[in-house]
Amino acid sequence: MKWTRITNIPSKDLMTGGKKENEGVKMYSVVYTNYLHDCNEKALVLPDMFAPAIIGVAHQFNKSLAIYDSAQIIKILMDREDMSENDAKEHFEYNIKGSYVGEDTPLFLDHIRDILL
């Protein structure tokens, strides 16, 4: 998986060839990405296909990190990569959540509702 550093994205990049594609998701992603960049220029994010799983930015002292919803990432893997639930969970645990790529590695949130089920 390719991790990328945050960069400010000009709002004009919401348009592709003059055609709007997933404008709501892209706008959300651009606003979030620019906010995260303002908080931490070195923050790492997952590839764009996981943008719907972004749930926020965590702040601790002078550090800000991207936060992703673990369950949503697993759902994205199942839907977009045609993985079974077990394969998606295993891929997420080992290849995404289990990857430490430095102090700016994103955080992955497990909701209490998912833990208790």
Q: What share of the chain in percent tops pLDDT 70? A: 75
pLDDT at 1: 62
Residue 28 to residue 14: CA distance in whole angstroms = 10
Global pTM reads 0.77
Residue 77 to residue 71: CA distance in whole angstroms = 10
Do the strands 107-109 and 44-45 form a parallel or antiparallel pair, or are they unpaired? unpaired
Mean predicted lDDT score pLDDT of the chain:
82
pLDDT at 53: 93
Domain residue spans in the chain? 4-116
User: Nearest Cα to 110, choosing from 84, 76, 73, 79?
Assistant: 73
Kindly report, residue by residue over 43-97, the tens digit of the pLDDT: 888 988 998 899 999 999 889 999 999 999 999 999 999 999 999 999 999 999 9
* Mean pLDDT calculated for residue range 10-19: 41
